[in-house]
């Protein structure tokens, strides 16, 4: 009974693998290392390097190992990149899902926990956003993930492959002991970019737009700690192992922070000046994304431990200040 974690060398995947190993689960990781780091993978997990679009690779993996559950992180996830190169996203994300489900079907593997996203909603009609709200993505990344959810739905109907889609909001933080964290090249996410400025690796932060219909004019996002997210994946996997039906859950803290608020929280945590300027809007950005996450709390029994954005920034800063150039593999 092994759990296969696809994309387990990435930011969220490595924290989830670490959590699963600490809970005594048998974990297999597969990752093509395009944006991930082998050193971030807990040593108790078995590692395979390969691409999920390579069916021969997947078939060998499912032949070699006794896989009962899949947790699927392996995808591209940068909103502005998807606006410039949508086909890259439909190929890796959406085609990757088809390749994976074909092999799961052939090997009779019936459980998949999937990294979905708040980007499936697009510009919300109401805040906080509920799982039943309309899904009209404003960028190809969100569209690729919504298509993946639909492909899983029909694979459940036809082949009985049960799924949990976890629509996460903005993920932040690092393992509090500072051993693993976020390391992307280049960084595009707000908190790691702000921390690169704090560390003197960038001159300034550019805030993308201050003319949105929000209190201070900058976008509002709901931040969730990566350690809480790791726990949610374990709970979702256990939910499927108990024989439950497929389901979709938001994962967020249900608190919104504007980009300006994140900047000032980072100034407090790091005690650095962090120069910033206002730039033009970034295409594809919805104005405000805040989760209603009571469904995950009620049905999965998820109880996030870290809903304070200062704690998320503090943990991210702890990793950053001890890994100035990330894991240093490149
Ligand atoms: N970071 C966020 O705020 C956020 C929010 C919502 C959803 N998500 C989703 O969570 C997942 C993980 O995000 P992350 O921030 O950890 O990203 P990441 O880039 O750090 O991790 C993705 C991992 O998947 C691997 N990978 C990508 N394509 C692959 C392929 N075809 N075959 C094998 N391995 C492949 C990469 O090498 C990397 O290790 C993604 O699916 C993303 O869409 C992230
Ligand atoms: O240098 C920067 C970087 C970001 N931002 C802003 O910060 C906010 C957050 O941006 P970012 O950290 O890039 O995250 P999102 O674009 O909100 O997307 C993240 O959060 C989504 C869920 O809400 C996930 O689906 C995506 O995978 C993940 O990248 C947005 O308003 C950006 O415009 C800036 O102003 N300056």
Antiparallel, parallel or unpaired: β 2-6 and 67-72: parallel
Residue owning the nearest CA to atom 21 of ligand 1? 10
Closest CA to 13 of 144, 150, 113: 113
What residue ranges line ligand 2, CB within 6 angstroms?
77, 79, 117-119, 169-170, 188-190, 193, 205-208, 219, 221, 259, 282, 285, 289
74-87 tens-digit pLDDT: 999 999 999 999 99
> Is 288 a residue whose pLDDT tops 80?
yes
179-235 tens-digit pLDDT: 999 999 999 999 999 999 999 999 999 999 999 999 999 999 999 999 999 999 999
- What is the domain count for the chain? 2
What is the pLDDT averaged over residues 162-177? 97
On whether both 166 and 216 belong to a single domain, the answer is no
On whether both 91 and 65 belong to a single domain, the answer is yes
How many angstroms separate the alpha carbon of residue 189 from the centre of ligand 2?
A: 5
Alpha helices (H) in the chain, listed in sequence order: 11-22, 55-64, 79-84, 86-89, 96-106, 140-159, 190-198, 226-241, 259-270, 294-295, 309-322
Supply the CATH number for residue 245's domain. 3.40.50.720
On whether both 83 and 197 belong to a single domain, the answer is no
**Residue whose CB lies within 8 A of the most ligand 1 atoms, among 18, 75, 140, for a mutation test:** 75
Partnered with residue 46 across adjacent β-strands are: 28
73 CB-contact burial (10 Å; exposed 0-12 / middle 13-18 / buried 19+): buried
Q: Is 141 a catalytic residue?
A: yes
CB 226 within 8 A of CB 171: yes
Tell me the percentage of the chain whose pLDDT exceeds 70: 99
On whether both 288 and 139 belong to a single domain, the answer is no
Q: Which residues, at least 6 apart from 148, have a Cβ–Cβ distance to it below 8 Å?
A: 93, 94, 97, 114, 116
On whether both 321 and 229 belong to a single domain, the answer is no
What is the pLDDT averaged over residues 286-302? 96
On whether both 295 and 211 belong to a single domain, the answer is yes
Q: What is the pTM of this model?
A: 0.97
On whether both 50 and 138 belong to a single domain, the answer is yes
CB 111 within 8 A of CB 162: yes
On whether both 145 and 164 belong to a single domain, the answer is yes
Is residue 11 domain-resident? yes
Out of 141, 168, 212, 306, which one is annotated catalytic? 141
4: number of Cβ within 10 Å: 25
78-125 tens-digit pLDDT: 999 999 999 999 999 999 999 999 999 999 999 999 999 999 999 899
Residues in the chain: 330
On whether both 14 and 108 belong to a single domain, the answer is yes
On whether both 194 and 148 belong to a single domain, the answer is no
Residue 312: pLDDT band with limits 50, 70, 90: very high
How many angstroms separate the alpha carbon of residue 105 from the centre of ligand 2?
A: 35
Residue owning the nearest CA to atom 16 of ligand 2? 79
Index of the ligand 1 atom closest to the CA of residue 52: 32
Distance CA 31, CA 88 (A): 17
Residue owning the nearest CA to atom 14 of ligand 2? 189
Structure tokens at 261: 């608020």
On whether both 241 and 265 belong to a single domain, the answer is no
Last residue of one domain, picked from the residues 251, 268, 303: 251
How many angstroms separate the alpha carbon of residue 52 from the centre of ligand 2?
A: 26
Query: Got the DSSP string for 129-192?
Result: BPTTS--B-SSHHHHHHHHHHHHHHHHHHHH--EEEEEEE-EEE---TTSSS----SS--SHHH
For ligand 1, say whether the CB of 171 is within 6 Å of any of its atoms: yes
Q: Which DSSP state fits 307?
A: -
For ligand 1, say whether the CB of 326 is within 6 Å of any of its atoms: no
Is residue 292 domain-resident? yes
Closest CA to 179 of 7, 17, 71: 17
Is residue 182 domain-resident? no
246: number of Cβ within 10 Å: 19
Residue 307: the pLDDT is 82
> Is 45 a residue whose pLDDT tops 60?
yes
**Residue whose CB lies within 8 A of the most ligand 1 atoms, among 19, 36, 73, for a mutation test:** 73
On whether both 16 and 116 belong to a single domain, the answer is yes
Supply the CATH number for residue 285's domain. 3.90.25.10
Closest CA to 280 of 324, 199, 224, 219: 219
Q: 234 lies in which domain range?
A: 2-172+223-251
Angle between helices 309-322 and 190-198 (to 10 degrees): 50
Tell me the percentage of the chain whose pLDDT exceeds 90: 96
Index of the ligand 2 atom closest to the CA of residue 193: 1
Is residue 302 domain-resident? yes
CB 108 within 8 A of CB 115: no
Residue 329: the pLDDT is 59
> Is 330 a residue whose pLDDT tops 50?
no
């Amino acid at each position: 009974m092994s759990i296969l974690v696809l994309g387990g060398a990435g930011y969220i995947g490595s924290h989830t693998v670490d959590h699963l190993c600490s809970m005594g689960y048998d974990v297999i990781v597969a990752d093509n290392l395009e944006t991930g780091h082998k050193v971030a993978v807990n040593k108790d997990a078995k590692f395979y390097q390969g691409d999920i679009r390579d069916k021969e690779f997947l078939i060998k993996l499912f032949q070699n190992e006794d896989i009962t559950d899949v947790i699927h992180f392996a995808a591209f996830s940068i909103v502005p990149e998807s606006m410039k190169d949508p086909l890259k996203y439909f190929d890796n994300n959406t085609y990757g899902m088809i390749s994976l489900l074909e092999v799961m079907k052939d090997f009779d593997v019936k459980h998949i926990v999937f990294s979905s996203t708040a980007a499936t909603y697009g510009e919300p009609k109401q805040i906080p956003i509920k799982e039943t709200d309309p899904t009209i993505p404003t960028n190809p990344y969100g569209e690729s993930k919504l298509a993946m959810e639909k492909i899983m739905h029909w694979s459940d109907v036809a082949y009985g492959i049960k799924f949990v889609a976890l629509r996460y909001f903005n993920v932040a933080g690092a393992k509090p002991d500072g051993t693993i964290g976020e390391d992307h090249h280049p960084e595009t996410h707000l908190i790691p970019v702000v921390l690169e400025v704090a560390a003197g690796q960038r001159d300034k932060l550019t805030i993308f737009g201050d003319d949105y219909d929000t209190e201070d004019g900058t976008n509002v996002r709901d931040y969730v700690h990566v350690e809480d997210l790791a726990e949610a994946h374990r709970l979702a996997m256990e939910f499927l192992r108990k024989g439950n039906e497929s389901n979709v859950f938001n994962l967020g803290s249900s608190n919104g922070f504007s980009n300006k608020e994140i900047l000032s929280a980072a100034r407090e945590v790091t005690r650095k000046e962090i120069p910033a300027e206002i730039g033009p809007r970034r295409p594809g950005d919805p104005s405000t994304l805040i989760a209603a996450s009571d469904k995950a709390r009620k049905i999965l029994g998820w109880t996030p431990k870290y809903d304070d954005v200062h704690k998320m920034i503090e943990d991210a800063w702890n990793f950053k200040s001890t890994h100035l150039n990330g894991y240093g593999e490149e």
